Structure 1
Amino acid sequence: MCRLFALTSRDPVSPMLAIKALDVMKEGHDGSGMGLLLQDLGGPFEEMKEAPILSGIFSEEGIRRLDLFMMDLGFLTKYKISLKVPKKPVEGIPRRDLYLIRAYELPEDWDNLSKDDMAVRLSDIRLKIREMGEEKKDMMVFSFWPDTIMIKEIGDPLLLAGYLGLDRKELKARIIMAQGRQNTNYAIDLYACHPFFIKGYTTMTNGENTAFIPIRDFLTSRGIAAYTGYQSDSEVFAHILHYSLVELGLGIDGYKHVITPLQERDLAVHPNAGFLSHLKRTCRSLIIDGPNCVIGTLPDHSLFMVQDRKKLRPGVVGGKPGLYGFSSEICGLDAVIPDRDKSRDIQPMHLDTAIVGPDRQEVTICRQTEALNLPL
């Protein structure tokens, strides 16, 4: 199993809070790697919310190729953070040339693009850089999106945090997602490390997705270029989220009906029985087979947690107005928000979607037995 921790805060906070939670949950991960997502950024990024930020790992040759590629497209560097690593190597952490966090000025001919067109172009550029890197093994790109930073690396999370200097003030954010890996593969591929990000939607998962093949085949048949990669069977959760909310026009309450539809006896008495029966038939290939606990973010900076029907992976939500945590274990919450009212902690069940909205004031529970907010 892996361990997950996510934080949503009214004020920007350090990613070290989430890394601290991973450390106290260390018995549930083996320190083989960490994935970290920062959104709704503070610090110097506060004033450049529309600037796309490229996050990844590059060799010296890779950065030269990247610079030529981005200049040809009309992108100019607006701001960058250099993660300078110590000269002395740390056992278990690979030696890299450059960890890149760079915000770009948009090309002038992008000024009149719609949000949808811009999303497609940014996604296509990320995919092209990834393709270039896989060809020569000199680039790994994890995200290219406004107000978003993603860091992934092999090694123990706490050691990585010190090695990369993740306590620096420029890296504070209001949304933080962190995963401590347990290596279930013989070789570690950083593209298989959670969280997974697609066009503003993010998920990370503790579990296994035994229905991966039919889900992957359905998604790749949709003609959407960003539905690709799949070094991990969990990456499909992010793509199903995007498909459900963007392509199908559902709300977050509908996502749960796609991945874990109601059983027929419950479906028959649901207020939206006709619609949900049709959804279940047409999206049958997207039904998951766990056990899985999924934590995710939406473009409006809502944070959510869902469980599948098996409910065999732990997950708890708790906090106080202005600061909420989503954790694989209660000890993770205790480490980060010890002064919360613990009697109000929520462990979502298989029909629940637990959500903290962008106002960060309370936890809302959507149950699958309730009426949906359907698109008009």
Structure 2
Amino acid sequence: MCRLFAITSKDPLSPMTAINALDVMREGHDGSGVGLFLRDLGGPFEEMKDAPILSGIFTDDGLKRLDIFMMDMGFMTKYKLSIKVPKDPPKGVPKRDIYLIRAYEYPEEWDGWTDEERYARLLEIRLTLRDMGQEKNDMIVFSFWPDVIMLKEIGDPLSVANHLKLERNELKARIIMAQGRQNTNYAINLYACHPFFLEGFSTMTNGENTAFIPIKEYLSSRGFQGYQGYQSDSEVFTHILHYTLKTLGLDLESYKHVITPLQDKALEEHPDGQFLKSLKHTCRRLIIDGPNCVIGSMSDHRLFMVQDRKKLRPGVVGGKPGVFAFSSEICGLDSAIPDRDKSKDFQPMHLDTAIVESDRQEVKICRQTDRLPLQL
């Protein structure tokens, strides 16, 4: 099993808040890797919310290739954080040249483009850079999106964090998602490390998605360029979320109905039963098979947790007005928010979607037996 931790706060926090929470849950991960997703950024990125930010790992030659490519595209650097590390990394951490986080000015020719046009082009560029990096093994590109930073590395989370000196003002954020990895593959590929991200949506999962192949095949057939990669069976959770909201036009409360629909008898009694029957039939190839605990972040800064029907992966949410966290274990919550009212901690069951809205005032519980917030 892996261990997951996510926090949403009205005030920007250091990534070390999440790393320390993972560290107290270290019996649940083997130290083979860590992934970080930062959104609603503080520090110097606070003043450039619309600027696309490129996050990745580069060799010296790869960085030169990146610079040429981006200049040819018309991108100019607005702000950059280049993390150059000691020559001798901690045990288990690969030797790297540069961890790069760089914010860009949009090309002048993009002036007048709609957000949708810009976002589609940013996705295309990220995928192109990923292909370029895999061709020569000189770039690993995690994200290219406004107000988002992603960092991933092989090794023990705390050792990696200290190695990269993540306790720095430039990396503070109001939403942080972190995964301590349990390696289930022979070779570790950083593109298989959670969290995953696609056009404003991010998820991470503790579990095993045995329905991965039919889901991957269905998504890959939709004709959308972002539905690719799949180095991990958990990446489809991000893509199903994207598909549910962007293609189907539904809201977060419907996500659970897509991945784990109600049984037919329960649908007969549901106030939106006719619609949900149709949704179940249409999206039957997106139904997951667990066990899985999924934590996700939305482009509107909502944070959520869902469980599948097997409910065999731990998950708990708790906090106080202004700051809430989702964690694989209660000790992770204790590390990050020790002064919360612990009697209000909530462990979502298989029908629940636990949501913290962008105002960070409370935990909202939506059950699949409830009426959907839609005009059906």
Which TM-score bucket, shorter chain as reference? over 0.9
Q: CA deviation at 1:87?
A: 2.9
CA distance in 2, matches of 1:201, 1:46: 20
Aligned partners of 2:375, 2:294: CA distance in 1, in Å? 24
Q: Which amino acid is 2:246 matched to?
A: V
Distance 1:111 1:265 in 2: 53
Structure-to-structure mapping, 1:1-376, within 5 angstroms:
1-374=1-374
Q: Is the 8 A contact 2:87 2:95 kept in 1?
A: no
| CA RMSD after TM alignment | 0.7
CA contact (8 A) 1:249 1:375 kept: no
Unaligned 5+ residue runs, structure 1? none
| Residues in 2 aligned to 1:168 and 1:19: alpha-carbon distance in whole angstroms | 13
Q: For 2:89 and 2:365, how far apart are their aligned partners in 1?
A: 46
In 2, Cα distance between equivalents of 1:88 and 1:213:
40
Distance in 1, Cα, partners of 2:146 & 2:7: 19
- Deviation, 1:90, is 1.6
Question: How far apart in 2 are the matches of 1:259 and 1:33?
Answer: 27
Equivalent residues of 1:318, 1:346 under 8 A apart: yes
1:219 match: secondary structure: helix
Q: Secondary structure at the match of 1:18?
A: helix
Return the alpha-carbon distance in structure 2 between the equivalents of residues 256 and 111 of structure 1.
38
Amino acid at match of 2:334: D
Deviation at 1:375, TM superposition (A): 5.6
User: Counterparts of 1:108 and 1:239 in 2: how far apart (Å)?
Assistant: 31
| 8 A Cα contact 2:324 2:360, kept in partner | yes
Give the AA of the match of 2:80.
K
Aligned residues with identical type, % of pairs: 72
In the aligned structure 2, how far is the partner of 1:3 from the partner of 1:280?
A: 30
CA distance in 2, matches of 1:218, 1:265: 27
* Deviation string, structure 1 residues 290-323 (Cα, Å, up to 9, x no partner): 0000000000110000000000000000000001
Q: Distance in 2 between matches of 1:194 and 1:16?
A: 17
Distance in 2 between residues matched to 1:110 and 1:260, nearest whole Å: 40
Distance between the aligned counterparts of 1:26 and 1:129, measured in 2?
A: 34
**Does the Cα contact within 8 Å between 2:89 and 2:163 map onto a contact in 1?**
no
CA deviation after TM superposition for structure 1 residue 109, in Å = 1.4
| In structure 2, C-alpha distance between the alignment counterparts of 1:228 and 1:321, rounded to whole Å | 38
Shift of 1:247: 0.5
**Following the alignment from structure 1 to structure 2, what is the Cα–Cα distance between the partners of residues 87 and 191?**
24
Amino acid at match of 2:149: I
| Cα distance between partner residues in 2 of 1:112 and 1:179 | 38
Question: Larger deviation: 142-151 or 366-375?
Answer: 366-375
Deviation string, structure 1 residues 197-227 (Cα, Å, up to 9, x no partner): 0000000000000000000000000000000
Listed one character per residue, the Cα deviations across residues 76-132 of structure 1 (whole Å, up to 9, x for unaligned) are 000001212123332111000110100000011112111211111000000000000
Q: TM-score under structure 2 normalisation?
A: 0.99
State the AA in 2 paired with 1:40.
D
What secondary structure sits across from 2:269 in the alignment? coil
Between the aligned partners of 1:192 and 1:283, the Cα distance in structure 2 is 25
The answer as to whether partners of 1:319 and 1:325 remain within 8 angstroms in 2 is: yes
SS of the equivalent of 1:95 reads coil
- AA in 2 matched with 1:274: Q
> Partner letter of residue 348 of structure 1?
P
Give the TM-score normalised by structure 1: 0.99
Looking at structure 2, the residues matched to 15 and 156 of structure 1 have their Cα atoms a distance apart, in angstroms, of 15
Kindly state the Cα deviation for residue 374 of structure 1 after the two structures are TM-superposed: 2.0
Q: How many angstroms does 1:373 deviate by? A: 1.6
Give distance in 2, aligned partners of 1:346 and 1:251: 22
Deviates more, 1:104-113 or 1:285-294: 104-113
* Distance in 1 (alpha carbons) for counterparts of 2:144 and 2:374: 31
Runs of at least 4 residues of structure 1 off by over 4 A?
none
Q: Give the Cα–Cα distance (whole angstroms) in 1 for the partners of residues 86 and 163 of structure 2.
A: 7
Instruction: State the distance in 2 between where 1:269 and 1:256 align.
Output: 18
Whole-angstrom distance in 1 between the partners of 2:212 and 2:88: 41
